[in-house]
Amino acid sequence: MEKYDEIKKLSIAELKERHDKSVKIIEAGSKFYREEILRREAEKMNAEMLSMTKQMKYMTIAIMIMTFINVVAVIIQIYQSVK
């Protein structure tokens, strides 16, 4: 049996290939590879979601700043028209 660190270095394609080979030999071994593939895919999806969340945060901050500038510009225009 390979060490965990060695398995962790394998690509998803290599894991799938080993899964297909091991399913013929041992059903328990295939479960391990399936779970590792699912774990990696979930980890990748979590990283992508975190990245999108950060982008949304920065866009929200930018929109708030632009809204504030717009409000100030409108207030200045109203003040000047009243004078």
Residue 15 in contact with residue 33, Cβ under 8 Å?
Answer: yes
Q: What is the pLDDT of residues 16-57, one digit of tens each?
A: 888 777 766 666 566 777 888 899 999 999 999 999 999 999
Render the burial of 25-48: b for 16+ CB within 10 Å, e for the rest: eeeebbebbeebeeeeeeeeeeee
The per-residue pLDDT for 19 is: 76
Give the H or E element holding residue 52.
Answer: helix 27-82
Check residues 73 and 1 and name the one with the higher pLDDT. Answer: 73
Render the burial of 1-18: b for 16+ CB within 10 Å, e for the rest: eeeeeeeeebeeeebeeb
pTM confidence score: 0.54
